[in-house]
Chain A
């Protein structure tokens, strides 16, 4: 056992076991929340796959053809995802992982280390794909009353299918690390990956699958399928996987494609092992080198900050936070993905053809304004939990500097608040106003939505900053802080606040719209009730903002004491 490569995986297994044994505060709540959401997603995937396959069954050969095409497309999407995921994961497991300092100093054969790391890379890169595929394939199998062989084939397909792209990704990483220093390569990859993910999402949206639902566009359907089929090539493992599964769905066994998939996977493993033995140590050694870091000086920030009417303390805190954020590719590059999602969101409103709904299009447009407000609220909460909530934790081991300097915790936390508020406000206000403009909603609702976003921004950013100070995690990476107990608590409170705000604004706004539609004037009583509703919404937001901040300041002061 101790000579086997699996021995090197033991610390991770033992660590997971020990972590599971020692429960931390909020584990139950986090487990219930994430578990619930996870189960819901899995059920939705299963239901969707089952329903779609069930529907396709009615179209005989066309249904079979579409199912086959669908499987190939599904696997091709995963092929790209797994290759990229393999590149990023291998960078960490083979080159940047801290425990390599221990393992490489020990008399461990390079082949043994390779197998252990490769298994880890495959598992880490592909678990999401497996979790996604399991309910989908189960749904397809049950809808077609597939024999038990289908489920066995699914396992036999997924294993080599995951190994091939991850091996390719690992080989790319091996090459990259031998050319660039690993830390530089990681930044480049992070950026490339997000651009890649963003462009895939935009591309898929631009295909406009909703056109299929429109009867008048039926002549274009053939063209649509032609587009779909073009990238499905028989030379790719995704095609082999799709064919294997389709054959087993029909009760057969596609030996040719099974053989192709398995032999390719094994050949890639052997080739990769040989390359690893030859170049891994050289690459690892390079990854340990710390040549003078290239970085953006961001002098413009200092100039702009000098122009702002801020105290020297707040100015320096602001400049420090912005410089650290902008120099960390892993932080700011996530904003690119968010930007892509926002563009799709706005694009959806541009192509939304509400004019086809008779009589009610005007009213529905205005109802959409509130859907839009809710969406903007969720975007705001997500951005806040990812970027604002970890603001205090991001000080990390350097927090002693703040604690020992003559800076009040009040000044420190409020500086964090303003730094977070401006981008969140600009992003969500732009999103809401842009979408409402594209929809052409009533001018009064435009003003209500714009004001609501201002209040919600103050409330959610204040709450995120405050809770982030109450539940800081100084020892973990800022990207992991969002999933902590405080982060989950923030998301729950944020969602509640968004719902309450929408209800408080939605009711009077709907009343106003209905009366306007029927040409009935607003009476003074209605006006007062409507005004009161708006005021209550504003007061709740302000209270959330101030209480959140005050609680955060107190928590930091208690820490100092």
Chain B
């Protein structure tokens, strides 16, 4: 599970994340929604241990990221929005190195690597340099790496960007299957249809604060939006009514 308590991140006088708390339970897919610059990526980077919070706590699978970083990271799979991959390594080499980072050793590693490459349809690219991969292929490779060590919690930033419909379908299926196996998934996304389709609960963040949290229906209720589509609810909550002025500008 992923639990964050009163998390704050300040850059000088600017507060990017302003005391947010959320709890992603085992087996739950939690959507993390918000407009650009709302603080989603900053929050996810703090969960992954890449940014030091100004205050607050992040707990992954019972381990505090500040006091037990290795244990917390060992049980987390993190998929960043701008992943780093060694361009001059082959897909196989990258995954084997990644497995080593998470302490996977022995004969099982090769088998597991191939299993993941098969799952994400990259097997025939195993011995090709990453630099020759398309954006979507790199995205799938990063997912292979993130799920290689069978994490109990996953934090993922914009997983659908750059994926073709087949790739997107695959990722959705993988997430659903992982959730069925008890993995807690915190997913930031702009694709509201994906959130509506996949997430049991969602949190909407605006200017560093969570302004709505609950199931999709509960959030609809909060926004007083009746049976509206999630996009309308999102725009209503995040001040997207300015879109109505588009006609005057265009």
Contact = CB atoms under 8 A, between A and B. Distances in A.
A293 interface: no
Contact of B103 (A101, A103, A107): A107
A64 B100 CA distance: 54
Interface footprint category on B: 35 or more
Given A10-B97, A107-B74, 12 more contacts: A14-B89, A14-B93, A15-B88, A18-B90, A102-B83, A102-B84, A102-B85, A104-B50, A105-B49, A105-B76, A106-B98, A106-B101
Nearest to A22: B129
Contacts of A19: 88
30 contacts: A2-B105, A7-B100, A10-B100, A11-B86, A11-B89, A14-B89, A14-B93, A15-B87, A15-B89, A16-B88, A18-B88, A18-B129, A98-B84, A101-B50, A102-B84, A102-B98, A103-B101, A104-B49, A104-B50, A105-B50, A107-B69, A107-B71, A107-B73, A107-B74, A107-B102, A108-B70, A108-B101, A282-B52, A285-B52, A291-B11
A105 B103 contact: no
A288 B50 contact: yes
A109 interface: yes
Interface of B: 11-12, 14, 45, 48-52, 69-74, 76, 78, 80, 83-90, 93-94, 97-98, 100-103, 105, 129
A353 interface: no
A2 B78 contact: no
Interface string A260-303: 00000000000000000000011001001111000000000000
Interface footprint category on A: 20 to 34
A103 B78 CA distance: 11
Contacts of A289: 11
B196 to A, nearest CB: 29
B51 A106 contact: no
Nearest to B10: A289
A210 interface: no
The CB with the most chain B CB atoms within 10 A, among A2, A22, A102, A108, is that of: A102
A216 interface: no
Nearest to B109: A2
Interchain residue pairs A-B with the least CB separation, the first 7: A15-B88, A285-B52, A107-B74, A106-B101, A107-B73, A107-B70, A2-B100
Interface in A148-162: none
The CB with the most chain B CB atoms within 10 A, among A14, A98, A291, is that of: A14
A281 B11 CA distance: 16
B69 A101 contact: no
Nearest to A283: B52
A67 to B, nearest CB: 45
Contacts of A60: none
Contacts of B74: 107
Contacts of A101: 50, 80, 83-84
The CB with the most chain B CB atoms within 10 A, among A15, A101, A106, is that of: A106
Nearest to A98: B84
Contacts of A7: 100
A61 interface: no
Nearest to A285: B52
Given A15-B89, A285-B52, A105 B78 contact: yes
Contact of A291 (B14, B48, B105): B14
A99 interface: yes
Contacts of A109: 70
Nearest to A10: B97
Nearest to B106: A2
B250 to A, nearest CB: 21
The CB with the most chain A CB atoms within 10 A, among B71, B87, B90, is that of: B87
Interface in A86-105: 98-99, 101-105
A291 B102 CA distance: 33
Contacts of A282: 52
Nearest to B105: A2
